[in-house]
Chains A and B, each alone.
Chain A
Amino acid sequence: MAKSVTSKPAGAVRPNGKRARAQAAQSDAIDAPGVWQRRHLLDLDDFSAAEIELVLDTADAMKEVLAREVPRVPALRGSTIVTLFYEDSTRTRASFELAGKVLGADVINVSAAGSSVKKGESLLDTVRTLQAIGADVLVMRHYASGAPYLAARESGFHVVNGGDGWHAHPTQALLDAYTIRSRLGDVRGRRIVIVGDIAHSRVARSNLWALTALGAEVVVCGPPTLLPFGLDGSCRDDAEEGSLPPVRVEHDLDRAIEGADVVMALRLQRERQQAGLLPSLREYSRLYQVHGERLARARPGAVVMHPGPMNEGIEISADVAHGARSLIEEQVTNGVAVRMAVLYLLLRGTMERGS
């Protein structure tokens, strides 16, 4: 049994993993194409391929709306969306705001700096206050992993996780999957290399769930100090089961990139060097920078992605970041369509029929 599991492609999830368990607990309807049953988007760890594909298909329709001369539809008219960000953000917040507005919703932006949070208001009090104002959706970014779960449990909001600690950033992973699908046709069977600081990356974690669910062959690459323990499934026991899907691990980027369809570079946070996880930034960029020469080892037509913000010259070279193979700007553009799809499905996908 164990043998057959390890010999499966990286996309296969252990049958007793978190995702399988979550799916078994839910009704069959959730796997029926086109059916949406979720109130919140907190993580992708229990998403089926069918659910992810529904988001991506819906995003296709949203992209058509965005391409119009007047990109505005009344789908969410009368709904109010609050973005509550305890951490800085440019693209996530701006794209959620635009997504809500294109769908006809009202959008209120609250940042921790400049709100009552500064006066010592607790997270839950802030959330309850925003709910009392009459908002329907809470898009939340918080430095503490799990904070959106608390908000989802303790409020009547539809909660969307806009990034929590090191844990999850589901809309980023969805827009990455959407961008790959748009460019390469399909995610299934594609070799996708995620390189850099996996351990501290919520983007990487959510991408591992989304991309393996969609049947990609995922390879992660980085120095051992920046990879989460037990990622390759080699030292799993039941206690850790399902903490991340099993993927191939490489420490040598040249080898990892061999035959890749997609190379996804992650931002290196400079504090990691101070924390003693890296000898030097120079050594890191020599070993792990995605640059033109390395990219030549990937498959012809391979593409490069980065969730941003980038440190050009550290994890990615400037010519690759702005080169012909870069999808980095496309990722940002697709982010609006994918977030529209998420907001639409949360608010309109599960409502009871009107009288």
Chain B
Amino acid sequence: MPNGAVMAADDIRRAVVRVAHEIVEQNGGCQDLMLVGMRTRGVPLAQRIAAAIREFEGEDVPVGVLDIGLYRDDLPARGTRVEIKPSELPEDIAGRRVVLVDDVLYTGRSIRAALDALIDYGRPERIHLAVLVDRGHRELPIRADYVGKNIPTSQQDEVLVQLEETDGIDQVLVTERRD
């Protein structure tokens, strides 16, 4: 895999709009739908999907924010940020069709934590998973229902999703880890 940008701003925009269409199509509309973005970069992605749905369906889908810090089983390295923030779910998730949104799907461990976190709030009718990038190398039996782009990587690669809202630029980079 060559180093550098694998998705530019336009690619991200198209992927988000396509995923938004797929979500509405799969669920036969927006009835009972709720998007839940995983902190940090899943949150703007969920908001973009909701904005796209509003554009072509004219319906407002509620967007929640999920922090999985208290549910992780992989711990931060010494000296890294350990911030956890409150989760914010705008409505009761019981009986809803929840679409969990994250930037990169890798080992699946964050998704495992997110499922535990989400289920602590109630019993959704179903949970789907939408990611901007699936880079493979799963360690748990978890798959995404909606994928922006499949990017084959080696485990030495680092996939970096940058978004306007958090990083000032829209792009996806693949670089080789330097260690």
Contact = CB atoms under 8 A, between A and B. Distances in A.
Contacts, number: 72
Contact of B79 (A37, A54, A74): A37
Given A61-B84, A61-B85, A70 B120 contact: yes
The 5 A-B pairs with the shortest beta carbon distances in the complex, nearest first, are A34-B81, A64-B86, A75-B70, A34-B83, A73-B70
A346 to B, nearest CB: 11
Interface residues of A, number: 31
A292 to B, nearest CB: 35
Interface string A52-95: 00100110110111001010111100000000000000000000
Contacts of A237: none
B87 interface: yes
Contacts of A75: 69-71
B60 interface: no
A298 to B, nearest CB: 31
B82 A34 contact: yes
A350 interface: yes
Contact of A35 (B71, B81, B120): B81
Contacts of A344: 70, 84
Contact of B80 (A35, A58, A65, A74): A35
A171 to B, nearest CB: 18
B57 to A, nearest CB: 31
A61 B86 CA distance: 4
Contacts of B70: 61, 65, 73-75, 103, 344
Contact of B83 (A54, A72, A353): A54
Contacts of A348: 75-76, 82
Contact size class for B? Answer: 20 to 34
A344 B69 CA distance: 10
Contact of A61 (B69, B80, B81, B121): B69
Given A73-B120, A348-B75, A352-B75, A61 B67 contact: yes
Contacts of A34: 81-83
A160 B147 CA distance: 46
A352 B77 CA distance: 5
A29 B79 contact: yes
A103 B116 CA distance: 14
Contact of B86 (A60, A349, A350): A60
B74 interface: yes
22 contacts: A29-B79, A33-B81, A35-B81, A36-B82, A37-B78, A37-B79, A58-B83, A58-B84, A60-B85, A60-B86, A68-B120, A70-B120, A73-B71, A73-B117, A74-B71, A103-B70, A351-B78, A352-B75, A353-B76, A353-B77, A354-B73, A354-B75
Contacts of A54: 82-83
A54 B78 CA distance: 15
A257 interface: no
What is the interface of chain A mostly: helix, strand, loop, or mixed? Answer: loop
Contact of A352 (B73, B78, B83): B78
Nearest to B83: A34
A345 interface: yes
Nearest to B87: A64
Interface string B78-121: 11111111111000000000000000000000000000110011
B18 to A, nearest CB: 33
A75 B68 CA distance: 10
Contacts of B73: 354
A57 B85 contact: yes
A353 to B, nearest CB: 4
Contacts of A29: 79
Contacts of A72: 120
A64 B39 CA distance: 15
A29 to B, nearest CB: 5
B41 to A, nearest CB: 16
A351 B72 CA distance: 13
Given A33-B81, A54-B83, A350-B78, 19 more contacts: A33-B83, A34-B81, A34-B83, A37-B78, A37-B79, A54-B82, A57-B83, A57-B85, A58-B82, A61-B67, A61-B70, A61-B85, A70-B120, A72-B120, A73-B117, A344-B84, A352-B75, A353-B75, A354-B75
